[in-house]
């Protein structure tokens, strides 16, 4: 038979049970505070990928001025430059796109594809390209990604840290000027990041590609300000005797600093 509990005992047990404080009951009815990111930005908060040199470039699908792309399919077996811009119809971006368009033949000689990104929709891009072609007397033929919601910009961490102050009318952070050089294996080989106020140096992008491709083919490194045709550096991992067998003449400045021609 189950024990009989007197009514007064049950009442005392009920009174003894811990009750939430009045303020706790009140706050439990309020909407939960959202992280600052969610309150201010349309793009979902998430941990950004670690885009280190040598890591695989994140894949994505996007609309561009030349149609829908899968980024890894776009890269294929080529070297690729992905470069971002804060917005259409802005002065610095207009000069940059014109400069890259004029270097089309130089990039093609090196087997390099170009693809731009700007934080506006496709219709805006198409109108902006007309201005670029007029101002720079060129023809933009490489695709420009339409990234109005900044999905690709956030994926590649192309965002200004001053995002709470530096936002557009949608409440989304501006996209900075980033450059990613990606090799045929989809590996990130170089990154450059510039503030929105500073235009890039297109000749430096070409110089870096020459250095990377030369290093991959010849097993050498390149000194500061190196240009094609100048002496290269024998890596420390290669002995001087082996370097002479491979390259011929080796000029030793220091045991760890040796130049050669290729």
Same domain? 173 vs 232: no
Hey, what are 216's tokens?
């991959």
Who wins on pLDDT, 19 or 65?
65
Give the pLDDT confidence score for residue 149 in this predicted structure. Answer: 86
Give the pLDDT confidence score for residue 28 in this predicted structure. Answer: 44
CATH number, domain with residue 100: 3.40.30.10
pLDDT tens digits along 127-156: 999 999 999 999 999 999 999 888 998 899
Same domain? 250 vs 191: no
Q: Is residue 35 part of a domain?
A: no
Same domain? 172 vs 142: yes
CATH number, domain with residue 251: 3.30.1020.10
Same domain? 76 vs 122: yes
Q: Is residue 131 part of a domain?
A: yes
**In Å, what is the CA distance from 127 to each residue of 35, 46, 122, 140?**
37, 33, 9, 12
Same domain? 77 vs 168: yes
Same domain? 130 vs 171: yes
pTM: 0.77
Give the pLDDT confidence score for residue 196 in this predicted structure. Answer: 78
What string of DSSP letters covers 171-208?
S-BPB-EEEEEE-TTSBEEEEEEE-TTS---HHHHHHH
Same domain? 230 vs 157: no
**In Å, what is the CA distance from 112 to each residue of 68, 79, 154, 175, 183?**
20, 5, 24, 24, 9
Domain extent at residue 175: 44-200
Q: How many domains does the chain have?
A: 2
Dihedral over alpha carbons 159, 185, 182, 225 (to 10 degrees):
140
Q: Is residue 4 part of a domain?
A: no
Facing residues of 191 across strands?
180
Same domain? 134 vs 95: yes
Report the percent of the chain where pLDDT is more than 70: 76
Same domain? 147 vs 103: yes
Question: Rounded distance, CA 84 to CA 71, Å?
Answer: 14
Give the pLDDT confidence score for residue 47 in this predicted structure. Answer: 53
Q: Is residue 209 part of a domain?
A: no
Same domain? 172 vs 247: no
Q: Is residue 103 part of a domain?
A: yes
pLDDT tens digits along 173-225: 667 789 999 999 999 999 999 887 888 999 999 999 999 999 999 999 999 99
Domain boundary among 153, 172, 200: 200
Same domain? 144 vs 241: no
pLDDT tens digits along 94-132: 999 999 999 999 999 999 999 999 888 989 999 999 999
pLDDT tens digits along 220-256: 999 999 999 999 999 999 999 999 999 999 999 999 9
Mean pLDDT of 22-41: 40
User: Does the pLDDT of residue 164 top 60, yes or no?
Assistant: no
User: Does the pLDDT of residue 32 top 50, yes or no?
Assistant: no
pLDDT tens digits along 43-93: 444 556 678 999 999 999 999 999 999 999 999 999 999 999 888 888 898
Cβ count near 47 (within 10 Å): 5
Q: Which of 75, 81, 82, 93 is catalytic?
A: 93
Q: Is residue 210 part of a domain?
A: no
- Residue 93 is among the residues annotated as catalytic for this protein: yes
């Amino acid at each position: 038979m189950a024990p009989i509990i007197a009514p007064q005992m049950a009442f005392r047990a009920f009174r003894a049970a811990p009750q939430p404080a009045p303020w706790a009951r009140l706050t439990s009815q309020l909407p939960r505070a959202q992280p600052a990111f969610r309150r201010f930005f349309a793009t979902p908060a998430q941990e950004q990928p670690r885009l280190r040199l040598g890591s695989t470039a994140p894949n994505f699908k996007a609309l561009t001025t030349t149609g829908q792309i899968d980024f890894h399919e776009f890269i294929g077996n080529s070297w690729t430059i992905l470069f971002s811009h804060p917005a259409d119809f802005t002065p610095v971006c207009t000069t940059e796109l014109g400069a890259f368009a004029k270097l089309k033949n130089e990039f093609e000689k090196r087997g390099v594809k170009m693809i731009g990104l700007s934080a506006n929709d496709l219709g805006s891009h198409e109108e902006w390209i007309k201005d670029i072609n007029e101002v720079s007397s060129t023809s933009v033929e490489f695709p420009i990604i339409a990234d109005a919601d900044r999905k690709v910009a956030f994926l590649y961490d192309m965002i200004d840290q001053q995002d709470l102050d530096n936002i557009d009318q949608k409440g989304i952070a501006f996209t900075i000027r980033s450059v990613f050089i990606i090799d045929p294996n989809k590996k990130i080989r170089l990154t450059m990041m510039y503030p929105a106020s500073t235009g890039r140096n297109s000749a430096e992008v070409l110089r870096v590609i020459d250095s990377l491709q030369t290093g991959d083919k010849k097993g050498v490194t390149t000194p500061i300000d190196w240009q094609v045709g100048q002496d290269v550096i024998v890596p420390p991992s290669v002995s001087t005797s082996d370097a002479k067998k491979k390259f011929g003449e080796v000029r030793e400045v220091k045991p760890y600093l040796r130049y050669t021609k290729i």
